[in-house]
Structure 1
Amino acid sequence: MGEHFKTDIDQLGQFLKSLEGCVRDLDEARTALAHVRADQIGTKRLDEACDGFQERWKYGSEQTKKMVEAVSEGVKSNKKGYEEVEEALEKAFKHMAEQATSGGGGAK
């Protein structure tokens, strides 16, 4: 069963960086669009359409940001858990190796 489940902790770290980059990019795009006013574009109808888009974009990007941040927190938590398991296994294997080489036999 274990051969079908593998986790690359470094890959989780890269995924976290990608998620953080997505949040940064969304913020930058929203900030850049916030400076463009619809009345600078053209006709009244086009201006109204642009204003509507601005509002939907703002709401949608904020919701997307919240979701990405939630996923990011989950990935961080999982990464930390995997790291803790790896550290515990490493300590246990080292302890077993020390016991085997010191003639400690393991019986207490």
Structure 2
Amino acid sequence: MGDQFRTDIDQLAAFTKDLQGAQDSLDQVRTALQSVRADQIGTPELDEACDTFQERWKYGNEQIKARIGKLTEGLKQNTESYREVETSLEESFRRAAAAGK
């Protein structure tokens, strides 16, 4: 079973960094959209549709942000756990090799 499960710690850390970048990008887009007011766009119907979109986008963005935050935190913890296991195994192998000399 162990030969079928592999974890690339560096890739896990890179994925965590990418998730944080995605969260930052979502925040930047939302911030940029906040500066555009619906009454600057056009017809009352379009203005209302834009306001509705802004409200829905805010809610959706907050939900995505919360989930990305939880996922990122879990990935950080897993990455650290894998690093600790890897370090412990390396140390165990060194001690075993030294004891066998």
User: TM-score normalised by the shorter chain: which range applies?
Assistant: over 0.9
TM norm structure 1:
0.92
Tell me the residue number matched to 1:95. Answer: 95
Tell me the residue number matched to 1:43. Answer: 43
Secondary structure, aligned partner of 1:87: helix
- Bigger CA radius of gyration: 1
AA of the residue aligned to 1:8: D
AA of the residue aligned to 1:7: T
By relative contact order (CA 8 Å, sep 6+), the higher-ranking structure is: 2
Matches within 5 A, 1:1-108: 1-101=1-101
Q: Percent of pairs identical after alignment?
A: 55
The list of structure 1 runs, each at least 4 consecutive aligned residues, that deviate by more than 3 angstroms after superposition, is none
Runs of 5+ consecutive residues of structure 1 not aligned to the other structure: 102-108
Deviations 1:19-69 (A, max 9, x none): 010110010000000000000000001000000000000110011000001
AA of the residue aligned to 2:28: E
Secondary structure, aligned partner of 2:6: coil
**Cα distance in 2, alignment partners of residues 88 and 3 from structure 1:** 19
**Cα distance in 1, alignment partners of residues 100 and 40 from structure 2:** 78
**Cα distance in 1, alignment partners of residues 26 and 62 from structure 2:** 8
Runs of 5+ consecutive residues of structure 2 not aligned to the other structure: none
